[in-house]
């Protein structure tokens, strides 16, 4: 069994594990969000039916026991209203949050066709070779060497920084561009956007601040109930977010290795990408800008983690170690040299 076959089998098993974890956690997050939104709707309905039954219905000459029914059978109201409110309160805001971040990231810099035509030409040539639509290419004026791929196969954008362009040789730069093009071909940006939504939903569900101490003086029982509910919701959503992070990290690491392999096959020079990774790893510095949240971080899209201390170690690292990636690429070089593919 060749290295490529073993790598493909390993990637498929890891992706299967990641998707299974994300599926289970996403269901739990959806249930939690439905219950959280449904309870809020149930409490609001209590006020509404109380007003309706005590103020309006007596005037009309009747009483239908709405308050009693709402108090004694909360489950239909909680589940039904929670399902209706799920996309409004949680799903759509999470999608909008990611879309705005991706739009901001994708519009950074100037078109490469105007500032670095050699990059645009290289991507055009690689796209033709891969028989895929040519993506837009932008160059952001930042010293930190970074590269991203936003969008999908038919409407993608590749973003590189001047720090990356100035640091790499022509062959290394072409290998990085091929890596990002492979991400677009594989639909990685859209896949990562999809799996980030449940975690952002969990963040929104568990984002409320703890109850104010002022309520304790006037309504101690209500305060105690609020504290217990807040604590349970916080613990549940924290565990769910960690589960999402684990699944996303495993999936992201698999996608990075797949993009490395795609770039090596597209350029026919695995050693160029290995050299680029080594060069970029040696020059990696901590970012000066404020850290973005883990969920929205561009670090999961960058060719290397944003910094050595974040996203590169432990269960939640978004990228394989640089040594592992270089080892895989060097094995491909040996196989090509010996005639094995």
DSSP structure string for 215-244: HHHH-HHHHHHHHHHHHHHHHHHHHHHHHH
Cα separation, 122 vs 132, whole angstroms: 14
From 146, 172, 180, 256, the catalytic residue: 180
Looking at residue 94, what is its pLDDT? 86
Looking at residue 263, what is its pLDDT? 93
Nearest alpha carbon to residue 157 among 114, 107, 98, 96: 107
Helices 220-267 + 117-130 axis angle, to 10: 80
Q: Hunting for tokens 């060069």 — which residue is that?
A: 279
Looking at residue 19, what is its pLDDT? 85
Residue 292 has phi, psi (to 5 degrees) of -85, 165
Alpha helices in the chain (DSSP H): 3-51, 57-60, 66-72, 74-86, 92-106, 112-115, 117-130, 162-167, 170-186, 188-205, 214-218, 220-267, 270-282, 322-338
| Mean pLDDT in order along the chain per 10 residues (341 residues) | 64 81 92 90 83 65 65 86 92 84 73 92 94 92 86 86 92 95 89 85 80 60 74 90 88 89 91 91 54 47 52 70 87 70 46
pTM above 0.85, yes or no: no
Looking at residue 304, what is its pLDDT? 59
Instruction: Give the list of residues 6+ apart from residue 238 with CB closer than 8 angstroms, or none.
Output: 206
C-alpha to C-alpha distances, 163 to 122, 173, 280, 302, nearest whole angstrom = 18, 11, 10, 13
Q: Could you list the residue range(s) of the whole structural domain that residue 108 is in? A: 3-338
Looking at residue 64, what is its pLDDT? 60
Between the CA atoms of 184, 190, 195 and 198, what dihedral angle is there, to the nearest 10 degrees?
Answer: 160
Q: How many domains does the chain have?
A: 1
- In the chain, what is the straight-line distance between the N-terminal and C-terminal CA atoms, in Å? 11
- CA-based angle 284:289:291, to the nearest 5? 90
DSSP label at 88? I
Active site residue 180: yes
Looking at residue 251, what is its pLDDT? 87
Looking at residue 302, what is its pLDDT? 60
Looking at residue 9, what is its pLDDT? 76
Nearest alpha carbon to residue 262 among 273, 252, 253, 251: 273
């Amino acid at each position: 069994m060749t290295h490529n076959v073993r790598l493909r089998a390993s990637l498929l098993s890891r992706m299967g594990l990641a998707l299974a974890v994300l599926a289970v956690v996403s269901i739990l997050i959806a249930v939690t969000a439905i219950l959280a939104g449904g309870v809020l709707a149930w409490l609001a309905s209590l006020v509404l039916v109380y007003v309706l039954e005590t103020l309006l219905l007596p005037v009309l000459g009747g009483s239908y026991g709405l308050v009693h029914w709402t108090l004694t059978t909360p489950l239909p109201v909680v589940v039904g209203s929670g399902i209706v409110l799920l996309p409004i309160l949680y799903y759509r805001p999470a999608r909008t949050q990611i879309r705005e971040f991706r739009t901001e990231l994708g519009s950074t810099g100037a078109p490469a066709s105007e500032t670095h035509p050699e990059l645009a030409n290289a991507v055009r040539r690689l796209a033709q070779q891969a028989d895929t639509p040519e993506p837009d290419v932008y160059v952001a004026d930042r010293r930190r060497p970074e590269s991203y791929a936003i969008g999908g196969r038919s409407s993608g954008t590749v973003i590189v920084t001047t720090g990356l362009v100035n640091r790499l040789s022509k062959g290394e730069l072409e290998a990085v561009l091929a890596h990002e093009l492979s991400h677009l071909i594989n639909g990685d940006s859209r896949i990562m956007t999809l799996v980030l939504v449940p975690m952002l939903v969990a963040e929104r569900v568990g984002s409320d601040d703890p109850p104010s101490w002022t309520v304790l003086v006037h309504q101690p029982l209500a305060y105690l109930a609020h504290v217990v509910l807040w604590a349970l919701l916080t613990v549940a959503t924290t565990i769910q977010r960690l589960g999402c992070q684990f699944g996303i990290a495993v999936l992201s690491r698999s996608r990075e290795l797949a993009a490395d392999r795609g770039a090596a096959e597209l350029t026919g020079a695995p050693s160029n990408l290995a050299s680029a990774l080594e060069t970029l790893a040696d020059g990696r510095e901590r970012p000066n800008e404020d850290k973005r949240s883990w969920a929205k971080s561009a670090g999961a899209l960058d060719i290397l983690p944003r910094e050595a201390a974040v996203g590169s170690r432990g269960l939640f690292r978004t990228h394989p170690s640089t040594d592992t990636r270089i080892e895989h690429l060097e094995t491909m070089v040996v196989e090509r040299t010996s005639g094995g593919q």
